[in-house]
A and B are shown apart, each in its own frame.
Chain A
Amino acid sequence: KAGVTQTPRYLIKTRGQQVTLSCSPISGHRSVSWYQQTPGQGLQFLFEYFSETQRNKGNFPGRFSGRQFSNSRSEMNVSTLELGDSALYLCASSLSTSTAQDTQYFGPGTRLTVL
């Protein structure tokens, strides 16, 4: 099976712009989660989508949003970019058959740099 893919891998934006990141989960996986990783804050959970519905949400401002399509592919959007949004954005997919036991499979991430 192909792994989780994320596009683009690298992105450079300027403050005030918006950005959309894409994630294609492993075939058959219905849950997609997004994380932000920075040197200072580590890995922080953004949100999780399951069957096109947001199931969990982390503690991030409303500038961060996401959605999931019927084929389980997911996008996340960050509007009005700030310098502090520079980070590695990771997507993870899982079968989500039994949530507590679910194994998450991570993509390689999208490196976003905000200038």
Chain B
Amino acid sequence: DAKTTQPNSMESNEEEPVHLPCNHSTISGTDYIHWYRQLPSQGPEYVIHGLTSNVNNRMASLAIAEDRKSSTLILHRATLRDAAVYYCILRDTGNQFYFGTGTSLTVIP
């Protein structure tokens, strides 16, 4: 099962962009890249996912490297409510989610 590597923690100032990196050097051609986040005392929530092309939604953007061995979740303007643990996950058809340890994002007012 393909695994991901993320920094344990990151800090960002409020209202500044945040780039959360994820390495997945063993990704297969059919693995989708998913991002979830978990706010304190809540279950994880979906953020974004993609296969090859960059993706945007109302919460964030996902930039995927051309070789797909890494990706970056971009929060365009961090708010205090974005403080959470962010998980980068690879998933292939028929396989379960492996959440890993994630990146704990601290947003500084």
Interface residues of A (CB under 8 A from B): 4, 33, 35, 42-45, 48, 55-56, 58, 90, 92, 98-109
Contacts and interface: CB of A to CB of B under 8 A. Distances in A.
Contact of A43 (B42, B45, B49, B99): B99
B83 to A, nearest CB: 18
B49 A56 contact: no
A105 B44 CA distance: 8
Nearest to B100: A42
Interface stretch (B13-21, B70-78, B89-97): B89-97
Interface in B14-35: 30-32
A100 B44 contact: no
A36 to B, nearest CB: 11
Contact of A56 (B87, B95, B101): B95
A42 B30 contact: no
A100 B31 contact: yes
Contacts of A103: 46, 49
A17 to B, nearest CB: 25
B91 A106 contact: no
A55 B94 CA distance: 8
Interface string B46-84: 100100000000000000000000000000000000000
Instruction: Across the A-B interface, give the 5 residue pairs with the lowest CB-CB distance, nearest first.
Output: A106-B43, A43-B99, A100-B93, A45-B96, A99-B93
Contacts of A42: 99-102
A14 to B, nearest CB: 25
Given A90-B43, A106-B45, A100 B96 contact: no
A44 B98 CA distance: 7
B46 A58 contact: no
Nearest to B48: A103
B43 to A, nearest CB: 3
A100 B43 contact: no
Contact of B44 (A43, A101, A102): A43
